[in-house]
Amino acid sequence: MSAEVVLEKIESLPALSDNVRKIIDICDNPDSSLAELCNAIEADPLLTTNILKYANCSHIRLRQPVTDIRQAVTLFGMDSIKGFVLSGFITELEKSDLSPYNLDTVRFTEIIRQQHMFVTTWYGQEKATYRLLAVPSHLMEVGKIFLSQVAVETSSQKLFAHHIAQTATLHELLKMEKEIFEITHEEVAAELMRKWGFGDSICIPLAHIGNPESAPEAYRKTARILNVVKSVVDAQNFDRRQNLSHAVQLVKRHHLKPETFVNTYKMFIQPEAVIA
Residue-wise pLDDT for 93-113, tens only, equals 766 689 899 998 888 988 998
Task: Identify whether the C-beta of residue 133 lies closer than 8 Å to the C-beta of residue 201.
Answer: no
Give the helix ranges, DSSP H, for 34-169: 34-42, 45-55, 69-76, 78-93, 105-123, 127-133, 143-153, 157-165
Q: What is the largest CA-CA distance in the chain?
A: 52
CATH architecture of 3-14+95-268: Orthogonal Bundle (1.10)
Task: Identify whether the C-beta of residue 82 lies closer than 8 Å to the C-beta of residue 135.
Answer: yes
Residue 254 and residue 28: Cα distance in Å, rounded? Answer: 30
Tell whether the model's pLDDT for residue 180 goes beyond 70.
Answer: yes
Q: What is the pLDDT of residue 61?
A: 60
Task: Identify whether the C-beta of residue 119 lies closer than 8 Å to the C-beta of residue 229.
Answer: yes
Model confidence at 92, in pLDDT bands (50, 70, 90)? confident
Model confidence at 229, in pLDDT bands (50, 70, 90)? very high
pLDDT by residue (tens digit) across 116-135? 999 999 999 999 999 999 99
Could you state, in order of their start, the residue ranges of all structural domains in the chain?
3-14+95-268
Number of neighbours of residue 6 by Cβ within 10 angstroms: 22
Burial 180-219 (b: 16+ CB within 10 A, else e): bbebbbbbbbbbbbbebebeeebbbbbbbbbebeebeeeb
More confident residue, 164 or 59: 164
Q: What percent of the chain shows pLDDT beyond 90?
A: 60
pLDDT by residue (tens digit) across 132-174? 999 999 999 999 999 998 888 888 888 888 898 889 999 999 9
Q: What is the pLDDT of residue 274?
A: 44
This prediction has a pTM of 0.90
Number of neighbours of residue 74 by Cβ within 10 angstroms: 13
Dihedral (Cα; 182, 188, 190, 196), 10-degree rounding: 130
Q: What is the pLDDT of residue 62?
A: 60
Tell whether the model's pLDDT for residue 81 goes beyond 90.
Answer: yes
177-180 long-range contacts (CB < 8 A, ≥24 apart) are 177/147, 180/1
Three-state secondary-structure class, residue 7: helix
Residue 266 and residue 276: Cα distance in Å, rounded? Answer: 14
At 72, phi and psi to the nearest 5? -65, -45
- Supply the mean pLDDT for the chain: 89
pLDDT by residue (tens digit) across 29-41? 989 999 999 999 9
DSSP helix, strand, coil percent of the chain (3-state; round to 5): 70, 0, 30
